[in-house]
Amino acid sequence: MSKRFLSRICIAFFLFLTSYFSLLAQVRDVSITIHLRGVNASDISIMGMTPSGTMKPFTDVKGVNNGTIASLMVPKDKLPGEFVVRFDYKEKPESTPYPSEKYIMINQQDLELWVNPLASNNPDSTWFQQGEKENAAFARFSKDNGQKKEKLGVLQQFLMNYDDPNSEFYRQGIKEYEMRRQAYNKWLDEQVATDKDLFVSSLYRFQFVPELLWKGTETERLLQMIAHYFDGIDLKDPLITKTTQLNDWMNAFVNLHGQMATTVALRDSLIPAAARSAIEKAKQGSPVVYGWMVDYFYRGFESNNIPIGMKVLQPYLDDPNCLTSKRMEIERRLKGMQSLVKGSKAPDFELKDVSGNNFRLYDYHPSTSRILLLFWSADCSHCAQTVDAIYPWLQKPENRNRISTVAISLDETDTEIAKWNQKVPVLPAWTHLRAAEGVRSKVASDYFILATPVMILLDSQSKEIISMPETPSDLMNL
């Protein structure tokens, strides 16, 4: 991979991406202060949602004692969103750690949370500071919504399953249902308007109840539900992609199609049809939602081995207006590169060296005045050319006494790792590290690596960036 490939990417495309990322941008990081009570001690971590809709920890504190306070930061690039605060607590010093989790919403407000992990979801034992907005609004909405939707759900179930749709009793049921449905959706609109400045308002419309024609067989009613499934959702709102509800909502949509599949072959034709229908609707909304929808079906077709589904997705994957997670990650890293400039502090990282020892950048203090970080792949021809050019030059006494090299391999496949293992012994003067997840690793993300090789020259003491030479000649002329 060569950095020069980026120059061939359409500049207008990335300007287009940037305009949409500005919609999601937050002003600052947000802090969450946790007051621990009711247990002896606990490790505390915060998990954020991944593009696949699962939760993954990104920050933690260890050994928080009863009656003390823990402070954690949520970076602005993850906001707003849904999060899980996880407590691995011990009731007594000798107890085995036991997990407890609390789902929370975070937007632009710093949070203060008093928690007893034994009852982390009981409002009498766990609560936010007075004046907290997002979680208070969602709790209020959830309580009212549950009460209002319960009877509507009973009526809907009756209408879906009743065996005599021509009876007067059935017609009265339709009339009562429609009256309640319209009143409920009106209330839903009012809640969205009331909380329009809050992130949680983006979650409300997943509860919308579309209009249905209660005629025909049960299968025909099912088809009606599918046809009107997207009626109430706001696909122009990019914030819905920051919710777990969107993933659950789409799972329900796919399951409706699955109910009609009596064979695997029929499933493999119905689900691609569902994908095309959903993506075409999302295409009319936010490019972020459009991209999320393509990612959603891509994961499903890949895990279930549905080749026809992949063919359905191909034109959308090729569409530059479709902001898939891969395109958004490219945009994030391109923007992040602007922060890696001369005089800025290099991000710290910790990796294993070839001997299995921990290497931490900020703990590394060589006798030389400079550190060269080289992100590379042994299976990359351009990397090989760079290594062949700079290694002999770095071994000259005047350079060896001035620059220490830390080579970070982004090789991840078996073939790449085998080539790396062969290459390391012929480069003994360097410190060799490998990031197991390659370009998806944290260190590659922190340094905004899109392609290899990348060279970054640091001051060995301050770890400030001196230069980012793009070619061997650039390095040699410093």
Average pLDDT over residues 458-475: 95
Digit-coded pLDDT (tens) for 425-464 = 999 999 999 998 888 899 998 999 888 899 999 999 999 9
Gyration radius of the chain over CA positions:
27
Which letter does DSSP use for residue 373 in this model? E
Residues 6+ apart with CB under 8 A from 444: 375, 410, 435, 437, 438
Task: Count how many residues are written for the chain.
Answer: 478
Lowest-pLDDT choice from 152-166, 283-297, 309-323: 152-166
Residue with tokens 């080579």: 407
**pLDDT at residue 26, as a whole number:** 57
Q: Is 182 helix (H, G, I), strand (E, B) or coil?
A: helix
Give the whole-angstrom CA distance, residue 175 versus residue 315.
44
pLDDT of 188 higher than 80: yes
Contact present, 395 and 429 (Cβ < 8 Å): yes
Residue with tokens 């990397």: 383
Percent of the chain at pLDDT > 70 equals 94
φ/ψ (deg, to 5) at 452: -110, 155
Contact present, 86 and 47 (Cβ < 8 Å): yes
**pLDDT at residue 388, as a whole number:** 94
Which letter does DSSP use for residue 377 in this model? -
Contact present, 293 and 279 (Cβ < 8 Å): yes
Percent of the chain at pLDDT > 90 equals 65
At position 162, the amino acid (one-letter code) is: Y
Q: Is 385 helix (H, G, I), strand (E, B) or coil?
A: helix
- Mean model confidence pLDDT for the chain: 89
pLDDT of 171 higher than 80: yes
**CATH 3.30.70.2080 describes domain 340-476:** no
Q: Report the relative pairing of strands 81-90 and 41-49 from DSSP bridges.
A: antiparallel
Residue with tokens 């000259």: 396
Which letter does DSSP use for residue 346 in this model? P
CA distances from 424 to 54, 355, 368, 389, 417 (A): 37, 12, 22, 16, 10
Helix, strand, coil distribution of the chain in percent, nearest 5: 50, 20, 30
**pLDDT at residue 471, as a whole number:** 92
Q: Provide the H-helix boundaries in 36-92.
A: none
Fold of 24-128: Immunoglobulin-like (2.60.40)
Burial class (CB in 10 A: 0-12, 13-18, 19+), 409: buried
**pLDDT at residue 5, as a whole number:** 36
Q: Is 309 helix (H, G, I), strand (E, B) or coil?
A: helix
Give the whole-angstrom CA distance, residue 71 versus residue 84.
15
Q: Is 234 helix (H, G, I), strand (E, B) or coil?
A: coil
pLDDT of 25 higher than 70: no
Specify whether the backbone of 285 is left (phi greater than 0), alpha (psi in -120 to 50) or beta.
beta
Give the whole-angstrom CA distance, residue 128 versus residue 168.
51
Q: Which of 390, 438, 391, 447 has the alpha carbon at shortest distance from 416?
A: 438
Q: Which of 244, 247, 292 has the alpha carbon at shortest distance from 101?
A: 244
Average pLDDT over residues 46-70: 90
Give the whole-angstrom CA distance, residue 37 versus residue 124.
13
**pLDDT at residue 413, as a whole number:** 86
Residue with tokens 């009339």: 175
* Local confidence band at 127 (pLDDT 50, 70, 90 cut-offs): very high
CA distances from 306 to 291, 301, 302 (A): 20, 5, 7
Q: Which of 76, 125, 78 has the alpha carbon at shortest distance from 100?
A: 125
Lowest-pLDDT choice from 5-19, 212-226, 321-335, 346-360: 5-19
- Domain spans in the chain, listed from the N-terminal domain onward: 24-128, 147-329, 340-476
Give the whole-angstrom CA distance, residue 461 versus residue 82.
39
Contact present, 255 and 292 (Cβ < 8 Å): no
